[in-house]
Structure formats: C-alpha cells, structure tokens
Amino acid sequence: MKACTAWGMYPQIECRHFKFNKEAPLKQIIGDQSSLIPYGNGRSYGDSALSENIVDVRPKDYFIDFDEESGLLHVQAGVLLSEILETFVPRGWFLKVTPGTKLITVGGAIASDVHGKNHHVEGCFSECVEEFDIMLTDGEIVTCTKEDTPDLWKATCGGQGLTGVTLEAKLTLKRINSQYIDQTTIKTKNLKETFEAFEEYSHMPYSVAWIDCLAKGNEIGKCLLMVGNFRDDGKLDYKLKPQKSIPFNFPSFALNNWSVRAFNWLYYGKVKEKVSKQRVDIDTFFYPLDAIGHWNRIYGKKGFTQYQFILPKETSYKGLEEILTAISKSGKGSFLAVLKLYGKANENWLSFPMEGYSLALDFKIEKGVFELLDRLDKIVLKHKGRIYLTKDVRVSKTTFEQGYPNIDKFRQFRQENKMAEKFQSLQSKRVGI
C-alpha cells in the first residue's frame, strides 16, 4: 500500500499501485483485482481517480506517429499535454483543445473530456480525438471511434476512467504560426458588465474571466475578462520553462479572508484601463498556474477542493448573482475564481459543458466549507445547473444526478458491459455511477 492523493490533496488514502508495461500484464491486473481505477498524472482535484487499487498509466508515454500533413498525432495515453507542446509548438502545431494546465495525460484529458478557453468555438477535448484504444473489463482492446462504437465513445469521453483503461489515442493538432497571443483585457465593474463583455467578445476564439469573489453589493461579479488569439509572426521558439516550486505546505492560516482580499484587490487594481492590450506567450495565456510547481500546497496540508458548476445561459445571470452573493457573505473565497461562457453541449453522457456560464473556485478544506458547498449546490440545482466531476470530492448522489440527464444511459451501459463492478473510484461509489 502506498499513500495516494490527487491535486486537491484531499482525501489522502492508502492504495495499491499497479504498473504495467505490456498489454498482457494489464489484462492480468484487471482480471485479478475486484475493482480498480486508472490514474494519470494526478491532476484531477478530487477523488475521481482514487480507489483502493489504481493503475498507473503515466509510464505509457510513447509518441507513436505524427502526420506532418494532416496534424494527426498518435500517442500512448500516458503522454502529457506538455510533452506534446514541447515537441510540436516549435513545428507550428498546437492542441485544438487544452485545459488550464498542460500537466495532464492524454488519457486523463479523454476521461474528463476537458475543455478550455475556446469551448465556445472548438468544444471539448473529444472533439479533437479521432479514435482511442481502450482495454475493457475482459481484457479485450477496442479501437473506439464516434461512428463505430458510439456508446463506448459517449461513455468514455467524460466518463472518469470508469469504462476501462485507455491505452492510445489519435488526436488532431491545429496549425499555429506563433507562440504568442494578442490578448485584450477588459475590466468590468459588475456582473452585468461582465456578461455584456462576454457577449461582445464572443467572436474571439479564446476567452476567460477572473472574478473577484469577495466583492460585495453592486460590485458583485466585477472581473477581468481576457480574450485573445494567436499572432501570425512566425515566432515558434517555445521551450518548457523550469518551474518555480512551492517547496512545502503553507500553514493553513496563510490563506485567510484578508490575504485573499488583498490579493484580489492587487490583481484587479493592477489593471488601470477599461480595455488594454498585451502580447503574451502560450504559457502565460493558457497555463499561468503551471509556472508554480505544487501551487496546491498554498492551501495547507489539509488540502482544498475546487467547486466548479455550470448554469444554462437563461438562468446564468440570476444564478451567478445568487451564488456570488452567498460566497461573498460566507467570507470563504478563493484565490482564483474563473468564469467562462461555454458553447453547446456535446453528446457524451457525462461531459460537463453546456451552453451557459461556468464558475470555478477553490476552497481550502476547513470547518464549514462542505456545508457552504451544499448550500451552493441547492442554488445550482434551482437554476438547472450541474457540477464538474473532475474537480469534485464531495457532491451527493442526488445533487449530481439531477444535473446529468443521460446518467441512466451511462449507468446502464456500465452494467451491461460489466464495467460497474470492475472500474470504480471513491467518487463513482459516492455518486452511484
């Protein structure tokens, strides 16, 4: 048994850690263990990849092939997005869809059907996946495509590793001609202005807003909206930068209401003009937090969770106003609150995005936090929203299932294919999937 946790460092459990280098031993592991879950680079926040038995997929990190014409990249599932960038940005290619960290595996990206700042244009990660190979309960390896095995596709993309162990995938990369982005920053005064700004700039391929969660009264929802697009200057000299790392857990009192408030004020106050323009590089624009290794340690050794929900567009304004007010009143807020306007939902049964606004914020694990989140859940449900499993560590079965209309299809598919018993995480047991 080994100590095991995920990015939120909560919970910390003991688990058996399985490695495999070939298909036969993996088949054996799946056959022998009563239940298990695949584990990538440990960057999902909660307990979606935690279980008594985990299968480490990260060592499967070979690049298999790349077609310079079409941009089709064939890799093993343990390859990190950062490795893809390091290899292909200098050759003029970028990920079609990338989340806010590049330190996740391709297998993990599929299991969470991750999305990024361009969701309103390009959709989720599965949109750039041509096919993937997955080992199922009986050890059979299936090459899954949207057309030939639609149910397996819809269950696996966003399915949190609960359908099998993804081994390889073919992804389409997109052409770029610069590693720099022309960024426009729009400073807004309240939620209404924030929504207007999102609509006004919805033609921009990349957009995300940083919200001050502790703002009160008529300032609620004030933000810095950052939008951007790749430049066309031919500068592709991209290299992975060495990380500055947080070497130890901060004492848990380091992040209190006042320090967060001061940080928010500094961050927001730094931007003077209503609209300003910057030239930034890929890492600054897409992966600001990757520059600090182990930034999760700032929340102290008890860890933290990220609460991310999405509301349909029609209810977004009212819902967000209500939730931001509740958070502001509670005085528990986070360093980072990220707001984004999403495009249409895809057909995958557990994919998180839908057309509307999503907010994500961190909470350190402390007294009263789970009660607060339960209260927020009620507001989310009232406004027909849902919770993102990849960030979650505490949502209840009832809350979770109300948000996902296809949940029974997912459950039934798992039952029929004998996956329900075999692939399980702490999360899947809690939310009953």
Which residues bind to another protein, rule: CB under 8 A? 19, 61-66, 83, 87
Nearer CB in complex with another protein: 14/273: 14
CA distances from 238 to 93, 176, 341, 375 (A): 11, 12, 29, 44
Secondary structure E strands in 62-138: 63-67, 72-76, 93-95, 129-135
Q: State CA 409 to chain mean position distance.
A: 23
Tell me the C-alpha to C-alpha distance, in Å, between residue 132 and each of 13, 141, 400: 30, 10, 27
**Between residues 45 and 66, which has the closer beta carbon with respect to another protein?**
66
Contact 129, 184 (CB under 8 A): no
What is the sign of the dihedral through the CA atoms of 362, 367, 368 and 371? positive
Q: Give min distance, CB of 300 to another protein, in A.
A: 19
What CA–CA distances, in Å, run from 269 to 80, 188, 223, 265, 352? 35, 12, 11, 6, 33
Cβ of residue 254: shortest distance to another protein, in angstroms? 23
**What sign results for the dihedral spanned by CA atoms 76, 89, 267, 310?**
negative
Which residues, in sequence order, are CB contacts of 328 under 8 Å at separation 6+? 213, 214, 215, 216, 220
- Report in angstroms how near the CB of residue 63 gets to another protein at its nearest: 4
**Minimum distance from CB of 130 to another protein (Å)?**
17
Q: Which is closer to another protein, CB of 127 or CB of 130?
A: 130
3-state secondary structure of 390: helix
Q: From residue 64, give the alpha-carbon distance in Å to each of 24, 169, 170, 416.
A: 19, 10, 9, 33
User: Rounded to the nearest whole angstrom, what is the least distance from the CB of residue 2 to another protein in the complex?
Assistant: 9
Select 240 or 275, whichever has its Cβ closest to another protein: 240
Q: Which is nearer to another protein, 48 or 76 (CB)?
A: 76
3-state secondary structure at position 139: coil
Least separation in angstroms between residue 19's CB and another protein is 7
Query: Closer to another protein at the Cβ: 62 or 258?
Result: 62
Nearer to another protein, 172 or 315 (CB): 172
